């Protein structure tokens, strides 16, 4: 992390490639991430990630949305265990907020390479979760490469397990600290 505990980010733009091969712009995100100082050196760490999104109509029903992502994690030797009980909110009343938990288990093979399994779900509105078939449930196999203290790359292949999930999802994230 830039200051070791606070990071600002801008995702511009977010893309989807449709089944027909068309490229669609989904929107953009502003992010502020705060984590416990020196998190990499701690056995237990915690933080809060807040993301404000501007969405295209095909991506989200509402133009603006907010994600509140608490973070709790443990480093055990080369292993990382991270939980994100995410609240997704579209500013349409607190009862409309979605619960979208995520988990990550990673093996840090070296300072540069990590291999992980990540699970992302969207269980539906907090007031009443959706039925299993209507929930999004996706599992990713992920590789992280960090060639320097300012650059990193993350690549993942995900598979959805419900009819509300995408059957195949690819993710590619390039990070550069300024």
Residue 104 lies inside a defined structural domain of this protein:
yes
CA distances from 142 to 86, 104, 156 (A): 20, 10, 4
> What average pLDDT does this structure show over 49-56?
89
155, part of any domain: yes
Contact status, residue 131 vs residue 137, Cβ threshold 8 Å: no
CA 22/CA 16 separation, integer angstroms = 8
Please check whether residue 122 lies inside any domain of the structure: yes
Q: Is residue 1 part of a domain?
A: no
pLDDT bracket for residue 2 (50, 70, 90) = very low
For the question of whether the overall pTM of this predicted structure is more than 0.95, the answer is: no
98 domain-assigned: yes
Average pLDDT, the chain: 89
Q: Which domain holds residue 152?
A: 6-176
Q: Is residue 83 part of a domain?
A: yes
Distance CA 162, CA 123 (A): 11
Do the domain assignments include residue 140? yes
User: Which two tokens mark 103?
Assistant: 């988990």
Pair of tokens at residue 65 = 């949305």
User: Which CATH number does the domain housing residue 98 bear?
Assistant: 2.40.160
CA distance to 85, 115, 177, per residue, from 100 (Å): 7, 23, 27
When divided into structural domains, the chain yields a total of 1
DSSP state of 24: E
Residue-wise pLDDT for 141-163, tens only, equals 999 999 998 899 999 999 999 99
**Does 69 fall in a domain?**
yes
């Amino acid at each position: 992390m830039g200051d070791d505990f606070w990071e600002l980010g801008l995702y511009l733009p977010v893309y989807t490639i449709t089944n027909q091969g068309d490229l669609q712009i989904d929107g953009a995100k502003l992010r502020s991430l705060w984590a416990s100082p020196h998190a990499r050196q701690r056995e237990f760490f915690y933080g809060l990630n807040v993301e404000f999104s501007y969405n295209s109509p095909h991506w989200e029903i509402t133009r603006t949305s907010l994600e509140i992502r608490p973070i709790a994690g443990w480093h055990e030797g080369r292993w990382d265990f991270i939980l994100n009980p995410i609240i997704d909110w579209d500013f349409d009343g607190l009862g409309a907020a979605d619960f979208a938990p995520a988990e990550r288990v990673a093996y840090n093979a070296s300072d540069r390479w990590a291999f992980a399994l990540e699970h992302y779900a969207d269980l539906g509105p907090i007031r009443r979760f959706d039925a299993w078939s209507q929930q999004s449930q996706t599992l990713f196999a992920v590789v992280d490469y960090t060639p320097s203290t300012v650059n990193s790359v993350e690549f993942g292949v995900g598979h959805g397990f419900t009819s509300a999930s995408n059957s195949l999802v690819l993710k590619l994230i390039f990070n550069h600290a300024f």
